[in-house]
């Protein structure tokens, strides 16, 4: 036992107390995923306090929303989580549809599932690749971006844009998929499926990666709920919640008839765990490794959903239907809806007052709440673990600062 | 909304807290007296059925029409409205609470209206209340660290108020 204590670098650090020092990390630090500034109070290598400073990317998105019609605000939703712009479009479109009590047709519904899940794969690939960068390994980033590029090519063919799509919109989508697109998408899935193994070899089972992430930044189940964490951060702590299954009927109805299992550890097992590398024995539920692993499982889950959506979409014979008019009048009332975006539960709130311009628009960002646990997770960790912890939350500053 | 007895159960636990409700809306809501919001939230989280263990969102809405022509037609009195979206993880159900506040405390422009903080109930409220204070100008009493979060610390005014005017100058940067 005494050996264990002697070997723990933190105990040695506490033995030789040095002066406290404030270390400023960011706002241009490469590991902060955008313009996030962390002020660390350190004693040697140990971080005693972390304070995130946000707002560097604030551009009054909500105020702009009070001056344009809901369809005109779609391009602003692109710029919230710009790595998953399709999911942002979808969340806002569904919220407006909820207020207007509008329901889209079958074909638009399957198109939305297909596009949203494809964007989830792209977003998780960035999350994975950038996490590798945070931990000092460059190659997974290249492997991830190579595949993401192909998804962006597919999106470019569907809507003309590679990052800010404004494709899914209130009442459906701006255009139908071009001919031959589904075959290209299937070809991508066939080619991508075996590559998942490479990612597991590069990161999930990599001894250094496991040492850097397993048991680091453990977020307990209760704390995750108390801080309003959502998405892979919440599921990584063992909370069985996914808005695609548990959300409101207007959103869950979209996934009606689709078969998928929520990526969460139940009774010590992940769903379909025979197909993946086993959980390393150092890993504790709620640590950085589990948050990362949940994302990896969701990539496969999304690919499965895409395949199902392709079949259903192809079986729809009717036309896609027109989206709602640009200046459609909004009814008096308010509606709030949370959808399962790749980073977590993205909520939109709209108040209509009888005109085509909403009275109030609100975006509840998942990364905003996910980031607010940083100071709890980083208490007592080493400085080198701060990027590992912040990276595992997979935040996007565009969404936090709005 | 929960079963028909839900409103009564809040009323029984916190007498006088419920001042109104709209159960026919798209998202049915309950209006709570401003002074009681923290008590009601504490009860909903720890004792109510189901337990609302998560807070999704806090929104402040400024009901004020700056255009005098349009203001003559509106049916409401100017006020601020706080909207709380609650979520129950075990029951997978949501709940909406609303609180009406004056735009300015004592009708003196610049005096922020006060409301008990719910930070002690859900930690999510910490950053959300800071954001509401920053952008809409509501003073949360009992908040451990109430300061601006998105705008710079020396920013003047509350941008999401309907009568907010963009400053002409900020440290030599030209606005408008």
Given A34, A53, A72, the domain boundary residue is A53
A241 — contact with chain B (CB < 8 Å)?
yes
Q: Is residue A134 part of a domain?
A: yes
Q: Which of B26, B126, B150 sits opposite A98 (nearest CB)?
A: B26
Provide the domain count of chain A.
2
A98 — contact with chain B (CB < 8 Å)?
yes
Mark whether A7 and A135 lie in a shared domain: no
Rounded to the nearest angstrom, the minimum Cα separation between B140 and chain A is: 18
Mark whether A25 and A157 lie in a shared domain: no
Q: Quick check: B6 and B49 in contact, CB under 8 A?
A: no
3-state helix, strand, coil in chain A (%, to 5): 50, 15, 35
* ipTM of this complex prediction, to 2 decimal places: 0.89
Mark whether A171 and A272 lie in a shared domain: yes
How far apart, in whole angstroms, are the C-alpha atoms of residue A346 and residue A364? 6
How far apart, in whole angstroms, are the C-alpha atoms of residue A70 and residue A145? 32
How far apart, in whole angstroms, are the C-alpha atoms of residue A120 and residue A84? 7
CA distances from A169 to A205, A349, B149 (A): 40, 16, 31
A56 — contact with chain B (CB < 8 Å)?
no
Q: Which domain holds residue A47?
A: 2-53
Name which of A227, A246, A332 to mutate to probe chain B: the one with the most chain B Cβ atoms within 10 A of its Cβ. A227
Inter-chain residue contact B123 with A227, CB threshold 8 Å: yes
- Nearest-Cα residue of chain A relative to residue B81: A360
pLDDT at A14: 56
Mark whether A30 and A97 lie in a shared domain: no
Would the pLDDT of B100 be above 80? yes
The distance from CA A347 to its chain's CA centroid, rounded to whole angstroms, is 13
Q: Quick check: A365 and A393 in contact, CB under 8 A?
A: no
Inter-chain residue contact B124 with A372, CB threshold 8 Å: yes
Which residues of chain B lie closer than 8 angstroms to A99, CB-CB? Answer: 26
pLDDT at A154: 93
A321: left (phi over 0), alpha (psi -120 to 50) or beta: left
pLDDT at A184: 92
**Radius of gyration for the alpha carbons in chain A, expressed in angstroms and rounded:** 22
The encoded tokens of residue A122 equal 């792209």
Sequence spans of domains, chain B: 6-174
Q: pLDDT tens digits for chain A (402 residues)?
A: 445 555 666 555 555 566 788 888 877 766 667 788 888 888 888 888 898 999 888 988 999 999 999 999 999 999 898 889 999 999 999 999 999 888 888 889 999 999 999 999 999 999 988 898 888 888 888 999 999 999 999 999 998 888 889 899 898 888 888 999 999 999 999 999 888 888 888 888 888 899 889 888 899 999 999 998 999 999 999 899 999 998 888 899 889 889 888 888 887 788 877 777 778 888 888 899 999 999 999 999 999 999 999 999 988 888 887 788 888 889 999 999 999 999 999 999 999 988 899 999 999 999 999 999 998 898 888 888 888 898 898 888 888 988
HSE-up of A314 (CA within 13 Å, CB side)?
A: 13
Report the SS3 class of residue B172: coil
Residues of B with CB under 8 A from a CB of A: 25-27, 53-57, 59, 61-62, 83, 85, 89, 92, 94, 96, 122-124, 126-127, 135, 148-152, 159-160
Inter-chain residue contact A241 with B92, CB threshold 8 Å: yes
Mean residue pLDDT of chain B comes to 87
Mark whether A96 and A9 lie in a shared domain: no
Mark whether A120 and A22 lie in a shared domain: no
CATH class of B6-174: alpha beta
Q: Strand order in A344-352's β-sheet?
A: A333-341, A344-352, A360-364
Mark whether A307 and A329 lie in a shared domain: yes
Inter-chain residue contact B150 with A54, CB threshold 8 Å: yes
Instruction: Give mean pLDDT, residues B152-157.
Output: 88
Q: Residue ranges of the alpha helices (H) in B76-145?
A: 124-136
pLDDT at A8: 63
Q: Is residue A376 part of a domain?
A: no
The encoded tokens of residue A366 equal 């998942």
Rounded to the nearest angstrom, the minimum Cα separation between B42 and chain A is: 13
- Nearest-Cα residue of chain B relative to residue A54: B150
A354 — contact with chain B (CB < 8 Å)?
no
Rounded to the nearest angstrom, the minimum Cα separation between A60 and chain B is: 8
A226 — contact with chain B (CB < 8 Å)?
yes
Q: Which of A58, A360, A364 sits opposite B150 (nearest CB)?
A: A58
Mark whether A263 and A299 lie in a shared domain: yes
Inter-chain residue contact B57 with A60, CB threshold 8 Å: no
pLDDT at B2: 57
Secondary structure of chain A in HEC code, one letter for each residue? CHHHHHHCHHHHHHHCCCCEEEEEECCCCHHHCCCCEEEEEEECCEEEEEEEECCCCCCCHHHHHCCCCHHHHHHHHHCCCCCCHHHHHHHHHHHHHHHHCCCCCHHHHHHHHHHHHHHHHHHHHHHHHHHHHHCCCCHHHHHHHHHHHHHHHHHHHHHCCCCCCCCEECCEECCCCCCCHHHHHHHHHHHHHHHHHHHHHHHHCCHHHHHHHCCCCCCCHHHHHHCCCCCHHHHCCCCCCCHHHHCCHHHHHHHCCCCCCCCCCECCECCCHHHCCCCCCCCCCCCHHHHHHHHHHHHHHHHHHHHHHHHHHHHCCCCCCCCCCCCCCCCCEEEEEEEEECCEEEEEEEEECCCCCCCEEEEECHHHHHHCCHHHHCCCCECCHHHHHHHHCCCCHHHHHC
B63: left (phi over 0), alpha (psi -120 to 50) or beta: beta
Q: Quick check: A334 and B26 in contact, CB under 8 A?
A: yes
Mark whether A45 and A82 lie in a shared domain: no
- Exposed e or buried b per residue across A37-59, where buried means at least 16 C-beta atoms within 10 angstroms of its C-beta: bbebebebebbeebebebbbbbe
Inter-chain residue contact A62 with B160, CB threshold 8 Å: yes
Closest to A238 in 3D by CA, of A200, A287, A282: A287
How far apart, in whole angstroms, are the C-alpha atoms of residue A276 and residue A270? 9
Inter-chain residue contact B56 with A364, CB threshold 8 Å: yes
Inter-chain residue contact B123 with A63, CB threshold 8 Å: no
pLDDT at A10: 58
Name which of A362, A375, A377, A399 to mutate to probe chain B: the one with the most chain B Cβ atoms within 10 A of its Cβ. A362
The encoded tokens of residue A195 equal 């590559």
* Whole-structure pTM value: 0.88
Given A37, A53, A69, the domain boundary residue is A53
Residue B154 neighbours by CB distance under 10 Å: 8
Strand stretches in A170-224, DSSP E: 172-173
Sign (positive or negative) of CA dihedral A92, A300, A221, A213: negative
Mark whether A103 and A140 lie in a shared domain: yes
Band (pLDDT 50/70/90 cuts) for residue B67 is confident
Q: Residue ranges of the alpha helices (H) in chain B?
A: 6-13, 37-46, 68-71, 124-136
Would the pLDDT of B115 be above 80? yes
Mark whether A164 and A72 lie in a shared domain: yes
pLDDT at A1: 44
Beta strands B169-170 and A20-25 are unpaired
Looking up tokens 């992940």, which residue turns up?
A: A270
How far apart, in whole angstroms, are the C-alpha atoms of residue A69 and residue A31? 37
The dihedrals phi and psi of B46, each to the nearest 5 degrees, come to -105, -25
């Amino acid at each position: 036992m005494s050996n264990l204590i002697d070997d723990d670098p933190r105990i040695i650090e506490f033995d030789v107390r040095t002066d406290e020092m404030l270390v400023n990390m960011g706002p241009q630090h490469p590991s902060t995923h955008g313009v996030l500034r962390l002020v660390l109070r350190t004693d040697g290598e140990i971080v005693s306090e972390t304070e995130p400073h946000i707002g560097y990317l604030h551009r009054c998105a909500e105020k702009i929303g009070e001056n344009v019609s809901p369809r005109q605000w779609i391009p602003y939703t692109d710029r919230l989580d710009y790595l998953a712009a399709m999911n942002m479009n979808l969340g806002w479109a569904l919220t407006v549809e909820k207020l207007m009590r509008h329901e889209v047709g079958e074909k638009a519904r399957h198109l939305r599932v297909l596009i949203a899940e494809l964007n989830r794969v792209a977003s998780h690939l960035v999350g994975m690749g950038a996490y590798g960068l945070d931990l000092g390994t460059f190659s997974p980033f290249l492997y991830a971006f190579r595949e993401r590029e192909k998804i962006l090519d597919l999106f470019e063919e569907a809507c003309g844009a590679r990052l800010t799509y404004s494709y899914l919109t209130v009442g459906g989508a701006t255009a139908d998929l071009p001919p031959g697109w589904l075959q290209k998408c299937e070809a991508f899935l066939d080619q991508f499926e075996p590559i998942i193994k490479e990612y597991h070899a590069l990161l999930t089972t990599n001894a250094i990666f496991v040492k850097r992430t397993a048991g680091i930044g453990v977020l307990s189940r209760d704390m995750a709920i108390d801080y309003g964490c959502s998405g892979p951060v919440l599921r990584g702590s063992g909370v069985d919640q996914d808005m695609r299954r548990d959300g409101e009927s207007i959103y869950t109805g979209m996934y009606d008839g689709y078969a998928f299992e929520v990526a969460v550890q139940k009774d010590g097992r992940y769903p379909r765990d025979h197909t993946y590398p086993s959980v390393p024995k150092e890993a504790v539920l709620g640590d950085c490794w589990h948050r990362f692993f949940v994302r990896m499982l969701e990539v496969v889950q999304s690919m499965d959903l895409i395949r199902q959506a392709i079949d259903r979409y192809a079986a729809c014979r009717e036309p896609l239907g027109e989206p709602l008019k640009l200046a459609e009048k909004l009814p008096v009332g308010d509606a709030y809806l949370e959808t399962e975006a790749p980073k977590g539960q993205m909520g939109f709130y709209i108040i209509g007052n009888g005109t085509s311009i909403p009275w109030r628009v609100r975006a509840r960002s998942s990364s905003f709440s996910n980031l607010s646990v940083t100071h709890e997770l980083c208490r007592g960790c080493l400085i080198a673990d701060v990027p590992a912890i912040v990276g595992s939350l997979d935040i996007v500053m565009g969404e936090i600062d709005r | 909304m929960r079963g028909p007895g839900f409103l009564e159960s809040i009323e029984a636990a916190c007498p006088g807290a419920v001042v109104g409700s709209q159960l026919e809306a798209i998202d049915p809501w309950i209006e709570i007296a401003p002074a009681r919001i923290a008590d009601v939230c504490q009860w909903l989280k720890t004792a109510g059925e189901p337990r609302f263990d998560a807070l999704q969102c806090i929104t402040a809405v400024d009901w004020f029409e700056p255009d005098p022509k349009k203001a003559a037609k509106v049916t409401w009195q100017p006020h601020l409205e706080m909207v709380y979206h609650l979520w129950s993880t075990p029951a997978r159900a949501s709940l909406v609470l609303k609180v009406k506040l004056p735009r300015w405390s004592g009708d003196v422009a610049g005096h922020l209206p006060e409301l008990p903080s719910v930070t002690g109930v859900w930690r999510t409220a910490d950053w959300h209340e800071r954001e509401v204070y920053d952008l809409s100008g509501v003073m949360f009493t009992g908040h451990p660290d109430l300061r601006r979060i998105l705008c710079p610390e020396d920013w003047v005014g509350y941008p999401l108020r309907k009568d907010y005017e963009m400053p002409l100058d900020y440290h030599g940067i030209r606005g408008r």
